[in-house]
């Protein structure tokens, strides 16, 4: 869903929507950390969040910094690793030493849908968010192009793709699969006692059915299971089928799902976070990118569910 965490950029009179985090929000400095193995040409920069993270060391590589058309810098992707001296804490919140039969579903379809790179609309394929913003009001072929976009597995994992949640849960030892794995083999979820969803906003009907029929799902991000897509694996594309005000403006959730909690994604501070029960699991009432790297109780709740 298009929401306030986007940054609008004017280009030739057209507003392009980018999924970015302004580098001005962070203090960034170079470091020489002997514990990190880098290629000799890599440059690593520390990130000091406002309030910092008591649990993890957060940093970026030089390639994680992008430049907007107006010259402003922004962070594409944030890296994370363990700090020293917190072994007891990590034992409480990670599954590294007591492997759970649980899995995280990385939202590769959603990540691809949100990817509008490069920013210049004249040099890239159009996508869903060009359509939502009205950039495709023209020839019907142009509109159709906007409703199909490439699957992009190698792009930076951004805020809208629950990038911080993915980084932290992977670091804590959770198994990771992708939307593609579930769509191609929906039976795969039956191999796990617990399924953790991230911001899986765009999913196929096959994936939707597999998830809502699993008995124990932790819906970690609001706005999951929001829009139905189809996949063409030969062309490596996804296409919008229904939802997000398409094909009619009054259509919100593409599956008519009764447990849609999309409005809750706009609470990004998560100061009063809580999980509540639905038919096949629990849902969070806020978008947790700003707490998942620093809240021990929150991470313990994910582990213990």
Provide the residue ranges of all domains of the chain, joining segments of one domain with +: 86-304
pLDDT on residue 170: 96
Secondary element (H or E) of residue 184 = helix 179-184
Per-residue pLDDT tens listing for the chain (305 residues): 644 433 333 333 323 333 344 444 444 444 444 444 444 446 567 666 545 689 999 888 877 877 766 777 777 788 899 999 999 999 999 999 887 899 999 999 999 998 865 555 555 667 888 888 887 776 555 556 789 999 988 888 888 899 999 999 999 999 999 999 999 999 999 999 999 999 999 999 999 999 999 999 999 999 999 999 999 999 999 999 999 989 998 999 999 999 999 999 999 999 999 999 999 999 999 999 999 999 999 999 999 99
Work out the burial of residue 30: count CB atoms within 10 Å of its CB; fewer than 13 is exposed, 13-18 middle, 19 or more buried.
Answer: exposed
Strand pairing class (102-106; 175-178): parallel
Distance CA 230, CA 254 (A): 12
Query: Which backbone phi and psi does 44 adopt, to 5 degrees?
Result: -115, 140
**pLDDT (0 to 100) of residue 116:** 66
pLDDT in the model for residue 136: 79
Give Cα 153 to chain centroid, integer Å: 12
Residue with tokens 């298009």: 2
Euclidean distance between CA atoms 166 and 241, whole angstroms: 26
Q: What are phi and psi of 89, to 5 degrees?
A: -65, -45
Q: What does the block give as tokens for 213?
A: 């029929």
Distance of alpha carbon 89 from its chain centroid, rounded? 25
The tokens for 169 are 């849960």
Q: Are 195 and 217 in contact (CB under 8 A)?
A: yes
- pLDDT of the residue at 114: 87
- The pLDDT of residue 119: 57
CA 80 to chain centre: 15
Nearest to 104 by CA among 25, 50, 56, 167: 167
> b/e map of 190-223 (b: 16 or more CB within 10 Å)?
eebebbbbbbbbbbbeebbebbbebeebbbbbbb
Distance (Å, whole) CA 298 – CA 206: 30
Residue 202's DSSP bridge partners are 227
């Amino acid at each position: 869903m298009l929401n306030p965490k986007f940054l609008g950029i004017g280009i030739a009179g057209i507003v392009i929507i980018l999924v970015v985090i302004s580098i001005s929000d962070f203090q960034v400095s170079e470091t020489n950390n002997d514990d990190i193995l880098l290629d000799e040409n890599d440059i690593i920069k520390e990130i000091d969040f406002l309030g910092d993270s008591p649990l993890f060391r957060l940093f970026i590589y030089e390639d994680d910094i992008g430049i907007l058309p107006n010259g402003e810098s922004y962070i594409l992707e944030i890296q994370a690793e363990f700090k020293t001296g917190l072994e007891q804490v990590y034992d409480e919140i990670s599954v590294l030493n007591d492997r759970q039969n649980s899995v995280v579903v990385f939202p590769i379809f959603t990540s691809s849908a949100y990817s509008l790179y490069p920013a210049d609309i004249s040099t890239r394929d159009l996508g869903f968010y060009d359509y939502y913003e009205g950039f495709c009001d023209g020839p019907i072929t142009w509109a159709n192009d906007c409703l199909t976009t490439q699957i992009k597995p190698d792009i930076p994992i951004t805020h809208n793709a629950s990038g911080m949640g993915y980084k932290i849960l992977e670091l804590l030892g959770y198994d990771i699969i992708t939307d593609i794995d579930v769509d191609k083999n929906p039976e795969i979820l039956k191999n796990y006692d617990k399924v953790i969803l991230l911001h899986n906003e765009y999913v196929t009907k096959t994936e939707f059915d597999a998830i809502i029929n699993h008995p124990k799902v932790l819906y970690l991000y609001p706005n999951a299971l929001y829009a139905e897509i189809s996949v063409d694996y030969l062309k490596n594309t996804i296409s919008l089928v229904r939802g997000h005000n398409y094909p009619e403006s009054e259509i919100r959730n593409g599956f008519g799902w009764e447990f849609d909690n999309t409005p809750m994604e706009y609470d990004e501070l998560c100061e009063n976070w809580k999980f509540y029960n639905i038919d096949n699991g629990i849902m969070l009432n806020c978008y947790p990118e700003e707490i998942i790297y620093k809240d021990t109780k929150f991470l313990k709740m994910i582990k213990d569910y």
